Amino acid sequence: MQPELSKTGESSFVRPSMEPTLWQKNRPGARGVESPGVAPESVTSQIPKGAGREIPLSLPELSELDVVRHFTRLSHLNRGVDTHFYPLGSCTMKYNPKVMDRIPEIPGFRDLHPRIDPDGMQGLLEALHTCEETLCQLLGMEAVTLAPAAGAHGELTGILVTRRYFESRGDKNRTEILIPDSAHGTNPASAAMGGFTVHVLPSGSDGGVDLARLEEALSPRTALVMMTVPSTLGIFEKDLPKMVALVKASGALLYLDGANFNAFIGVLRPGDLGFDIVHINTHKTLATPHGGGGPGSGPVGVKSHLAPYLPSPRIRKDGDRYSLVSPETSIGPIRSFIGSSLVLLRALGYVRMLGGEGLRKVALYALLNANYLRALLSGTLPRTGKGLCAHEFVLSAKELSQEGLHASDLAKEILDAGYYAPTISFPLIVPEALMIEPTETESKETLDRFADDFRKIIDLAKKDPTRLKEAPRRTPVARPDEVAAARDPVLTDPASLHIA
């Protein structure tokens, strides 16, 4: 049951206390339980000499019970998709089926060391090869690399492949990448890290890419045009076929940032739309919980003309045997292993469980939920864009600035109402932005309840803005000094410095 919004701003709710750190709980001599046979000879014998850690980790000393209770109490203080509605836009913070948790626990996968010889992990290589083939079908691509550890890592991989492709053709003039201002913020950073000059394409009045500005910006120097589809504004580009034709005519490649893949999975394939490269985030779309810094996985799919340049090693199938190969044309390894294996196995299991029609429903329900919630919130705050949205939509709290309020104040009051807050202050082209993504997994009842509370919060903001300035009241931390945290960050637990 959601807490009622208080008219007076008072609450009988007692703020949860902060959990002490493990270093603060350190008890010299305390130990966990070491069960016999934790590292059997059958496992340790497969690990190459020198592959293990030789220097002991510096960790606090605690009993097993202390550690279990510590992390359990922390989990009770957190907001997550298992405990609250989590409408965090552009990140697809959706509930994932718990049955997928069983796949990484299969001993034959779980207990493999990443440096075992390929002959010792044929089952894993077969599963990952199947995952590559499955993603090729979903993306409409001819080849896929599973190596990238996240979406931004996938971006960089695609950009390095682009650079190698033009180098192989002797075209040294392709030094620029065009990126719409409605793209994900990591795109420009990845392009710059890849050695390219970035040019930003401004959005038109409807929130889409300005077709005339795109045509003007394209030149023999353009190597790649990176597009987020649908964009961070929650908009499908209505002029996409024309844009693809312009880019192809210029000789440049076309990249699709597929972090929002759950908006069209099973409905559209990027390869069929004319894209040369696409990355997706399996940790957003395909059944791995996203957040907390990982684990992540950002596979990259490419058309056949780019396949020779994908990262090494590649998985090769010869009959019923699998091996790892490193083609000379490859850009080389981009990480220490061939991919986040257990994340990818979850993705494969999710796809196999739902099938083609099930994946199509994922996209359709994501679109339905977003448009339903958008309609419910109509009239609360102005929305960027017109008509139907994709899987997310963006509101602007700029009109509340006359009350001295910002999007962050709304977010903190939303926390007190019993939800995680939407993304705020992004995309940057929308002042005081709130990006809301309900995802395909939420019920109508949850969306109705959230919309009702959101309307109450907006009404409260106009009548009693001071109330929002004092939020949140129901979280362990109230309002941290963000300026001080940025200027003088404490990156090490002081308690750990006093323990030998």
Q: Is residue 16 part of a domain?
A: no
Q: What is the DSSP string of 13-28?
A: PPPPPPPPPTTTT--T
- Closest listed residue to residue 310, CA positions, set 343, 277, 274: 277
pTM: 0.88
Binned at pLDDT 50, 70 and 90, residue 114 comes out as confident
| Residue 114 and residue 174 in one domain | yes
Binned at pLDDT 50, 70 and 90, residue 45 comes out as low
CATH number of the domain enclosing 452: 3.90.1150.10
Distance in angstroms (rounded) separating the CA atoms of residues 224 and 254: 6
> Which residue, chain included where needed, has tokens 């340049």?
309
| Residue 293 and residue 363 in one domain | no
Q: Is residue 300 part of a domain?
A: yes
Residue 485 has pLDDT above 60, yes or no: yes
CB neighbour list of residue 194: distance below 8 Å, 6 or more residues apart: 156, 159, 160, 162, 163, 177
> What pLDDT score was predicted for residue 471?
94
Distance in angstroms (rounded) separating the CA atoms of residues 488 and 485: 5
Q: Is residue 94 part of a domain?
A: no
Number of C-beta neighbours around residue 284 at 10 A: 26
> What pLDDT score was predicted for residue 308?
98
| Residue 330 and residue 421 in one domain | no
Contact 277, 300 (CB under 8 A): yes
CATH number of the domain enclosing 245: 3.40.640.10
> What pLDDT score was predicted for residue 231?
94
CB neighbour list of residue 96: distance below 8 Å, 6 or more residues apart: 81, 287, 288, 289, 350
Return the structure tokens found at 359.
Answer: 């994946």
Contact 44, 105 (CB under 8 A): no
CB neighbour list of residue 14: distance below 8 Å, 6 or more residues apart: none
Among 334, 354, 374, identify where a domain stops.
Answer: 354
Q: What is the pLDDT of residues 60-90, one digit of tens each?
A: 899 999 999 999 998 888 888 888 999 998 8
Residue 118 has pLDDT above 90, yes or no: yes
Q: Is residue 226 part of a domain?
A: yes
> What pLDDT score was predicted for residue 3?
45
Residue 480 has pLDDT above 70, yes or no: yes
Q: How many domains does the chain have?
A: 2
Q: Is residue 395 part of a domain?
A: yes
Return the structure tokens found at 447.
Answer: 């969306």
> What pLDDT score was predicted for residue 327?
96
Tell me which of 241-255, 444-458, 479-493 is least confident.
479-493
Return the structure tokens found at 356.
Answer: 């083609």
| Residue 389 and residue 315 in one domain | no
Number of C-beta neighbours around residue 4 at 10 A: 11
| Residue 191 and residue 133 in one domain | yes
Task: Tell me if residue 47 falls in helix, strand or coil.
Answer: coil
- Closest listed residue to residue 261, CA positions, set 295, 239, 293, 285: 285
Q: What is the pLDDT of residues 214-235, one digit of tens each?
A: 999 999 999 999 999 999 999 9
Q: What is the pLDDT of residues 239-288, one digit of tens each?
A: 999 999 999 999 999 999 999 999 999 999 999 999 999 999 998 899 98
Residue 151 has pLDDT above 60, yes or no: yes
| Residue 337 and residue 368 in one domain | no
> What pLDDT score was predicted for residue 445?
98
| Residue 348 and residue 362 in one domain | no
Q: Is residue 78 part of a domain?
A: no
| Residue 304 and residue 383 in one domain | no
Strand extents, DSSP E, 86-195:
143-145, 176-180
Among 354, 369, 397, identify where a domain stops.
Answer: 354
Burial class (CB in 10 A: 0-12, 13-18, 19+), 336: exposed
Which has more pLDDT, 289 or 233? 233
Q: What is the pLDDT of residues 460-473, one digit of tens each?
A: 999 999 999 999 99
Residue 9 has pLDDT above 60, yes or no: no
- Closest listed residue to residue 410, CA positions, set 471, 481, 473, 475: 471
Residue 321 has pLDDT above 60, yes or no: yes
Q: Which domain holds residue 386?
A: 356-478
| Residue 293 and residue 389 in one domain | no
CA dihedral 106, 108, 113, 119 (to 10 degrees): -150
Which has more pLDDT, 498 or 428? 428
- Closest listed residue to residue 435, CA positions, set 447, 445, 422: 422
Task: Tell me if residue 197 falls in helix, strand or coil.
Answer: strand
From residue 404, how far is each of 4, 10, 277, 400, 464 by CA, in Å?
24, 21, 44, 7, 11
Q: Is residue 383 part of a domain?
A: yes
Residue 162 has pLDDT above 90, yes or no: yes
Residue 313 has pLDDT above 60, yes or no: yes
> What pLDDT score was predicted for residue 134?
98
Residue 110 has pLDDT above 50, yes or no: yes
| Residue 294 and residue 312 in one domain | yes
Binned at pLDDT 50, 70 and 90, residue 368 comes out as very high
Binning the chain into helix, strand and coil, the percentages to the nearest 5 are: 40, 10, 50
Chain-centroid distance, C-alpha 207: 23
Strand extents, DSSP E, 25-157:
143-145
| Residue 349 and residue 360 in one domain | no
Average pLDDT over residues 409-437: 95
pLDDT mean across residues, the chain:
90
Distance in angstroms (rounded) separating the CA atoms of residues 435 and 233: 8
Among 354, 385, 402, identify where a domain stops.
Answer: 354
Q: Is residue 130 part of a domain?
A: yes
> What pLDDT score was predicted for residue 7?
42
| Residue 326 and residue 368 in one domain | no
Which has more pLDDT, 146 or 292? 146
From residue 421, how far is each of 91, 93, 390 by CA, in Å?
13, 11, 20
